Structure 1
Amino acid sequence: MPHVSLKHYPREFTPEQKQRLADAVTRLVVEHFEVPENVVSVALEAVDPAQWPERVDAPEISARPDLLIKTPDYGN
């Protein structure tokens, strides 16, 4: 623990980009949760834009606003 799951529209990441992203997310989690970095896990999941409303927005954003610490503004 903690585990961070990042869902995103499909895009290609090089292994180096993935590592830099994982390192950056890990640093923030370590800082804010005050845990050692070896207990942090980070996952990336590409979600097709056509499936975003049913796979991400409806179940994880719209249905669980109490868990969000930042809300999206799809209008911008």
Structure 2
Amino acid sequence: MPHIHIRHYPRDFTADQLREIDEAVTAAVTRTFALGEDAVSISLEPVTPEDWQAQVLAEIAARPDQQVRRPGYVNES
């Protein structure tokens, strides 16, 4: 614990980009939760633009109480 699951549009990441994501996210989580690096896991899940509404935006709308940050493109109405 904790596990960070990042969904994103499909893309190819370089080894350096993956290392950057790993280091930045791990540093923030270990500092905030006061845990060692071995306690953190991170996964990346590509989601096609066609599936984004049903898979990601639907979850954002259904779980507003669990969000730390909402995307600026979500309609607030």
Q: TM-score, normalised by structure 1?
A: 0.91
Aligned counterpart, 1:63:
62
- Report percent identity of matched pairs: 45
Give the drift of 1:19.
Answer: 1.4
TM-fit CA distance, 1:40: 0.2
Equivalent runs, 1:9-24 vs 2, <5 Å: 9-24=9-24
Please provide the CA RMSD for this pair: 1.1
Aligned counterparts of 1:70 and 1:40: Cα–Cα separation in 2? 20
Q: Distance in 1 between matches of 2:72 and 2:39?
A: 32
Deviation at 1:71, TM superposition (A): 0.8
Gaps of 5+ in 2: none
| Pairs aligned (count) | 74
Ranges of 4+ aligned residues in structure 1 off by more than 6 Å: none
Unaligned stretches of 5+ in structure 1?
none
The alpha carbon displacement at 1:20 in A equals: 1.4
AA paired with 2:63? Answer: R
